[in-house]
Amino acid sequence: MAVAIPIIGDWYQKTNGQLFEIVAIDDEDGTIEIQFFDGTVAEVDLEVWHQSLFQPAEAPEDYSGSLDIEPEDCAEIERVGKKDWADPLDYLDQAE
């Protein structure tokens, strides 16, 4: 089986199904920095990468995994978005 070539911005899947994205490649150190869907960042040696069974994967449709957004936060954004923003300075330093 061919080993997938790591490309920054591409998503891959571990054998256990865990999704991660390549966020950086350091050729000098021989490492690949990955970020899992939950936001955890890790480093993988190029040698380990070539021995792995990582498979290319589609980016998740739900982008909120690493953003630590709760449903209540989204409701707040929607509520604020419905205000009349005729003069944005009206809402500066406004306490609710």
The pLDDT of 73-91, averaged and rounded, is 57
Confidence band of 53 (pLDDT split at 50, 70, 90): confident
Give me the helices (H) in 8-61, please.
Answer: 46-51
pLDDT value for 60 = 85
Domain region containing 44: 11-59+66-83
Residue 20 CB neighbour total at 10 angstroms: 22
- Higher pLDDT: 52 or 71? It is 52
Rounded-to-integer distance, Cα 13 and Cα 21, Å:
9
pLDDT value for 63 = 62
Rounded-to-integer distance, Cα 57 and Cα 12, Å:
5
| Structural domain includes residue 88 | no
The number of domains in the chain is 1
| Structural domain includes residue 91 | no
Q: Which residue in 64, 47, 52, 59 sits closest to 9, CA to CA?
A: 59
> Is 10 a residue whose pLDDT tops 60?
yes
| Structural domain includes residue 94 | no
Cβ(13)–Cβ(23) under 8 Å?
no
| Structural domain includes residue 46 | yes
> Is 56 a residue whose pLDDT tops 80?
yes
| Structural domain includes residue 71 | yes
| Structural domain includes residue 2 | no
Across 1-96, where does the E strand assignment appear?
Answer: 11-13, 19-26, 31-36, 41-45, 55-57
